[in-house]
Chain A
Amino acid sequence: MNLNELTIKAARVKLDKGEISAQALTKACLFALEQKDKDLNACLMVNKEGAMQEAKKADKRLKAGEKGGLLGIPYLGKDNLMTKGLKTTAASKMLADYVAPYNATVITKLQAAGAILLGKTNLDEFAHGASTETSAFGVTKNPHDLSRVAGGSSGGSAAAVAANLCLFALGSDTGGSIRQPASFCGVVGLKPSYGLVSRFGLLSMTSSTDVIGPLTKTVADAEIVLSVLAGGDKYDATSVNSTYVAEMKKVTPRVSSRLAETITKQDLKKSIKGLKIGLPREYFPVDLDSELKGVIEKKAKMLADLGAQLVDISLPYSKYGIPVYYIITPCEISSNLARFDGIGWGNVQVETDSLQEFYQVNRGLGFGAETKRRIMLGTYALSAGYYDAYYKKAQAVRTLIIADFNRAFSKVDFILTPTSPHAAFKIGEQNSDPLTMYLEDVFVTGASLAGLPAISVPAGEVTVSGDKKMPVGMQLLAPRFFETELINLARNLDK
């Protein structure tokens, strides 16, 4: 086994015992990147020298007796996270040469922990998409089949973990952007609760749902990374600390008080006996691919065999998740991306005489088709006369979607669904109509709109053509801030 193929947990043991060095581990990843990424296009930038320097520092710390956590573990960061002195492009022509002057808080935290940043991963432009096809720097290919997408928007991160180019990667999830590519690439993707991880230094997309989380090879690894990422940050007013999380877990109205009071005392890593796991019927529609349904049910049965009780539940407002998401998201995008005016940062393509013209020409040239589409849609929905009909209406239906989950969590401890209605599709297959791509998010927007923690774990494989099989993921959801319990439940599914 090559060192880059190790899980964090396995590498940890070897590093702590002195069997391997952080430099050897980093070299193995850099070698894999050199060998494989020509075909995959998972990375937009590899910082070879910087990574080796960081590895050297980590080895010093290890030699000095420091142990544990992410010390000496090489990783990749999604290219919408600020990295000081390194390019941060968001896969947009608008920021093609932009060098961030500071680090995102998650990058700072990982650096302090001794993790080694190898480079930055590809994404849909500004994270607008579900296939990494809207990247201005080319599509990322799925390591399981190069003719297929890796999913998105964190497609580069998912592909990189699946191809063992790193030990873990960071993604961001606004409406499924960690979970769906994790499903397509057969890796673990964790979207934490809204507010658990600081977003300082993440390029804002939809501020009311954006979160940062890990893509890993195992659930146990996701837990290790999350423990470093989580925590309040004075630079992000929406982030919360552990005291707040503990308080919220106690007072969350009726939301699974059973889970809060009883089950948290139970070590779910050891026993999940008596847990109630809800399967919402809206997430298993009659037209769901029967092979995929079988794979998910088989995986769910593993939990049942361990003593959990599978319960049929209903989330009646689920079908409005996509329409709500595709109003709120473009609205927030049109506002958040107004800052890209060609003046403060970004590439100036054309000089003009007037300021208005300067904005229009440079934004018109700098943004890609999907980004412009979303800005247009949001601008329309927020404009005079339409605000109530679109934005306010969507936020009202969002209230009902949140209430759906609250009701469900008064009956069950966790919710189980497919992550995506299908395996990775062919590159170009879903490009003709933007709406087709929006429907990709059908099972993943709910948790985003309600701010819930959700994890996608590999569930098995389904046939995509002939005898070709591709991975699919199963999604588990918990009440807000119950990620520890969610992770412990999911750990029962680690191979």
Chain B
Amino acid sequence: MKLKIEEIKHIAQLARLQLSEKELVEYQKELSSILDYVATLKEVDTTKVEPTAQIGNLRDVLRPDEVVPWDKEEIAAALKNNERENGNIKVKRVL
């Protein structure tokens, strides 16, 4: 199955990746060949098989939704990478 270059552009758009013309062509070729390879799964009959949702066998791991104290220095360090205004993280205009 060969993906069209428009499809590659669309995937890149969905993935928020800016790709060069060269990358678009490379990924067109490589993604197509990988998809051809994984298509071997089609030969497996899975009509009566439940897809694996998790392998942990755990269910409902819950904890109270409470604010807990955290090391002040760690909080400051975690927010260091952001541009901030009045204690909030500043991002560009969305609209």
Q: Mark A residues whose CB is within 8 Å of B.
A: 84-85, 98-99, 101-102, 194-195, 208, 234, 237-238, 240, 248, 317, 319-320, 323-324, 326-327, 334, 338, 341, 343-346, 352-361, 363-365, 367, 369, 372-373, 375-377, 379-380, 383, 390, 392-400, 402, 433-435, 438, 449-451
Question: What is the minimal beta-carbon distance from A364 to any residue of chain B, in angstroms?
Answer: 3
Identify B94's interface contact among A341, A355, A380, A398, CB under 8 A.
A355
User: Is B53 close to A, CB under 8 A?
Assistant: yes
A-B contact pairs, 17 of them (CB 8 A): A101-B75, A101-B78, A208-B54, A320-B41, A323-B37, A324-B41, A343-B91, A344-B82, A354-B93, A355-B92, A363-B16, A367-B17, A372-B23, A372-B27, A383-B14, A399-B52, A433-B33
A234 touches B63 (CB 8 A): yes
Q: Across the A-B interface, how many residue pairs have beta carbons closer than 8 Å?
A: 157
Contact with A along B1-30 (1 / 0, CB 8 A): 001000110011111111100010001001
Q: 5 extra interchain contacts, Cβ-Cβ under 8 A, other than A353-B92, A363-B16, A376-B12?
A: A237-B58, A323-B39, A326-B34, A360-B16, A399-B52
Identify A323's interface contact among B16, B38, B54, B82, CB under 8 A.
B38
Q: In whole angstroms, how far apart are the Cα atoms of A267 and B87 in the complex?
A: 59
B-side contacts of A375, CB under 8 Å:
15, 17
User: Is B67 close to A, CB under 8 A?
Assistant: no
B-side contacts of A376, CB under 8 Å:
8, 11-12, 15, 17, 27, 31
The dominant DSSP class at the A interface is: helix
Name the residue on B nearest A234 (C-beta): B63
Question: What is the minimal beta-carbon distance from B31 to any residue of chain A, in angstroms?
Answer: 6
A360 touches B18 (CB 8 A): yes
B17 touches A360 (CB 8 A): yes
Identify B52's interface contact among A234, A359, A402, A433, CB under 8 A.
A402
Report the interface size class on chain B: 35 or more
A-side contacts of B89, CB under 8 Å:
343-344
Q: In whole angstroms, how far apart are the Cα atoms of A369 and B53 in the complex?
A: 29
Q: In whole angstroms, how far apart are the Cα atoms of A84 and B76 in the complex?
A: 13
Name the residue on A nearest B54 (C-beta): A208
B74 touches A101 (CB 8 A): yes
User: Is B88 close to A, CB under 8 A?
Assistant: no
Q: In whole angstroms, how far apart are the Cα atoms of A338 and B3 in the complex?
A: 23
User: Is B69 close to A, CB under 8 A?
Assistant: no
B56 touches A396 (CB 8 A): no
B-side contacts of A377, CB under 8 Å:
31, 34-35
Q: In whole angstroms, how far apart are the Cα atoms of A356 and B17 in the complex?
A: 10
Q: Mark B residues whose CB is within 8 Å of A.
A: 3, 7-8, 11-19, 23, 27, 30-31, 33-35, 37-42, 44, 46, 49-58, 61, 63, 71, 74-75, 77-78, 80-82, 89, 91-94
Name the residue on A nearest B53 (C-beta): A395
Q: In whole angstroms, how far apart are the Cα atoms of A338 and B33 in the complex?
A: 24
A-side contacts of B8, CB under 8 Å:
376
Name the residue on A nearest B19 (C-beta): A364
Q: In whole angstroms, how far apart are the Cα atoms of A393 and B46 in the complex?
A: 7
A-side contacts of B74, CB under 8 Å:
84, 101-102
Identify B16's interface contact among A345, A352, A356, A435, CB under 8 A.
A356
B-side contacts of A234, CB under 8 Å:
63
Identify A400's interface contact among B49, B61, B91, CB under 8 A.
B49
Most buried by B among A343, A367, A390: A343
B82 touches A343 (CB 8 A): yes
Identify A320's interface contact among B23, B40, B63, B92, CB under 8 A.
B40
A396 touches B11 (CB 8 A): no
B37 touches A373 (CB 8 A): no
Name the residue on A nearest B78 (C-beta): A101
Closest 7 CB pairs of A and B: A364-B18, A395-B51, A101-B77, A396-B46, A360-B18, A451-B55, A101-B78
Most buried by A among B57, B63, B78: B57
Q: In whole angstroms, how far apart are the Cα atoms of A434 and B57 in the complex?
A: 34
Name the residue on A nearest B37 (C-beta): A435
